[in-house]
Chain A
Amino acid sequence: NAGVTQTPKFRILKIGQSMTLQCAQDMNHNYMYWYRQDPGMGLKLIYYSVGAGITDKGEVPNGYNVSRSTTEDFPLRLELAAPSQTSVYFCASRTSGLQGTQYFGPGTRLLVL
């Protein structure tokens, strides 16, 4: 199994540009998540999904959108990039059960100039 994969690994955007961060998992997990990690700030939940067709906002959803058309894929869309969105973005999927394990992808480093 490849686990959780993310593309691209690194991207530079200009203010106002749009892009989609791709995330895929091959473990058949229903739960998937998008986090952002800023220096010294831990992980902040952007959006999450409990299954195909179901998504919900996390702690910091403004400026982002998601979709979940399949169990495997959970893309994150930035519509109008702003410098405040400069961060490292992690996608994760989770096993079922009360104490499920979250598996993280390698991250996408985004720089907005």
Chain B
Amino acid sequence: TQLLEQSPQFLSIQEGENLTVYCNSSSVFSSLQWYRQEPGEGPVLLVTVVTGGEVKKLKRLTFQFGDARKDSSLHITAAQPGDTGLYLCAGAPGGGSNYKLTFGKGTLLTVNP
């Protein structure tokens, strides 16, 4: 069973601060996705990273896939209250099972104005 560990579990910061959340595993994933979930709603896909070492930027969010494709990070620059939510990473195992994702437990981010 492939496991994804996310850290920190909770993060509370002030508006304007920078932050990084991590997603780690001992297993190799063919791709990794990051989702954001707001209270009372389902998760929404932010990004998919596929290649080891890949970096993708989405406005103030920077996503990186580890060289060995076992870990990933999400960095937010100048956080805003609208960034508040649960951030979930999810890995695809590869082979013929890419349609089955393994989700981490999430990082609950609160950005205070």
Contact = CB atoms under 8 A, between A and B. Distances in A.
B84 to A, nearest CB: 17
Contacts of A103: 45
* Majority secondary structure, A binding face: strand
A61 to B, nearest CB: 13
A103 B37 CA distance: 12
A104 B44 contact: yes
Assign chain B's interface to a size class.
20 to 34
Interface residues of A, number: 25
A43 to B, nearest CB: 4
A106 B30 contact: no
Nearest to A50: B99
B31 A42 contact: no
B44 A43 contact: no
Interface string B78-92: 000000000010101
B99 A94 contact: yes
